[in-house]
């Protein structure tokens, strides 16, 4: 007499004869590891790879051949075992959506900083990356963003500041398990050219003070030796 195996709805049943004289057992016909299985899809000629994701959800993807389904399932199981699995729909979100979520993720950000970051995203990042799924952004896309800012004549310091916004968005995407790795790597940034600042000599200060009206000479002299404007204006005769 056949003995019923594990109840999995929709799975075809096969009979196994484990040995002479042993009862036949009825088991579900599936293949795969402990995390998933491969079966022929009901009422079609395609094959299904089924697995349970780390969030506890049951997921299914169909393939034309059984071999393709097994290769996919093997890759999924490896990703889950390594902790590198990402929710498919989440990782396919466009950069514009992810950037908006990043902006909203820090409610304590100062209004001026928020406005600057939003402007950078809208003006420089969005036109290049906005419609690209975030998991498809490559280092080459990042380099295009940098090159276009340079072509527009932005100063090297500004380009680096704007790049910092892009890097922050994509680092946040890694931290929140949207993508595995940030594409902000190997990026060529414009060099910062340090300009030598002229050093004012004592003779220069003396000439500058001499050229000022009498009422301002003391203020110019005190400023030249290091006092800030507020300190100079707040100084009283009795404190000298």
**Between 44 and 85, whose confidence is greater?**
44
Question: What is the percent of the chain with per-residue pLDDT over 90, rounded to a whole number?
Answer: 37
In this predicted model, what pLDDT tens digit does every residue of 34-61 receive, in sequence order? Answer: 468 888 888 888 988 888 777 677 788 8
pLDDT classification of 240: cutoffs 50, 70, 90: low
CA distances from 22 to 4, 14, 16, 18 (A): 14, 16, 10, 7
47 by Cβ neighbours in 10 Å (0-12 / 13-18 / 19+) ranks as buried
Are residues 199 and 186 in contact, defined by beta-carbon separation less than 8 angstroms? no
Q: Which helix (H) or strand (E) holds 59?
A: strand 58-63
Whole-angstrom distance, CA of residue 163 vs CA of residue 174: 17
Q: Find the mean pLDDT for residues 27-31.
A: 38
Residue 199 structure tokens: 């050093």
CA distances from 168 to 92, 94, 183, 199 (A): 19, 16, 11, 38
Are residues 32 and 38 in contact, defined by beta-carbon separation less than 8 angstroms? yes
27 by Cβ neighbours in 10 Å (0-12 / 13-18 / 19+) ranks as middle
Note the pLDDT of residue 79: 74
Rg (CA), the chain: 33
pLDDT classification of 208: cutoffs 50, 70, 90: confident
Residue 189 structure tokens: 């940034």
Count of Cβ atoms closer than 10 Å to residue 145 Cβ: 22
The pTM assigned to this predicted structure is: 0.56
Whole-angstrom distance, CA of residue 109 vs CA of residue 103: 9
In this predicted model, what pLDDT tens digit does every residue of 127-160 receive, in sequence order? Answer: 999 999 999 999 999 999 999 999 999 999 999 9
210 by Cβ neighbours in 10 Å (0-12 / 13-18 / 19+) ranks as exposed
Residue 44 structure tokens: 């079609």
Q: Find the mean pLDDT for residues 88-105.
A: 88
Range ranked top by mean pLDDT from 87-91, 117-121, 216-220: 117-121
CA neighbor of 136 nearest in space, from 206, 176, 100, 88: 88
Note the pLDDT of residue 52: 79
Are residues 172 and 102 in contact, defined by beta-carbon separation less than 8 angstroms? yes
């Amino acid at each position: 007499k056949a003995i019923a195996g594990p109840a999995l709805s929709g799975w075809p049943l096969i009979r196994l004869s484990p040995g002479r004289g042993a009862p036949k057992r009825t088991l579900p016909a599936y293949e795969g590891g402990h995390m998933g299985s491969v079966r022929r899809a009901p009422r079609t000629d395609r094959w299904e790879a089924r697995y349970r994701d780390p969030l506890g959800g049951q997921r299914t993807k169909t393939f034309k051949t059984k071999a393709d389904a097994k290769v996919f399932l093997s890759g999924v199981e490896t990703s889950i075992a390594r902790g590198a699995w990402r929710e498919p729909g989440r990782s396919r979100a466009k950069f514009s959506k992810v950037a908006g979520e990043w902006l909203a993720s820090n409610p304590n950000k100062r209004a001026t900083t928020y406005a600057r970051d939003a402007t950078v995203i809208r003006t420089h990042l969005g036109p290049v990356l906005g419609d690209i799924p975030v998991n498809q952004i490559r280092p080459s896309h990042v380099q295009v963003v940098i090159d276009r800012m340079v072509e527009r004549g932005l100063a090297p310091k500004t380009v680096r500041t704007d790049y910092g916004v892009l890097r922050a968005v994509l680092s946040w995407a890694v931290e929140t398990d949207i993508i595995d790795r940030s594409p902000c790597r190997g990026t060529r940034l414009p060099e910062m050219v340090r300009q030598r600042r002229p050093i004012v000599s004592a003779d220069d200060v003396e000439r500058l003070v001499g050229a000022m009206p009498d009422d301002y000479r003391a203020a110019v002299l005190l400023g030249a030796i290091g006092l800030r404007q507020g300190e100079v204006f707040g100084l009283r005769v009795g404190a000298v």
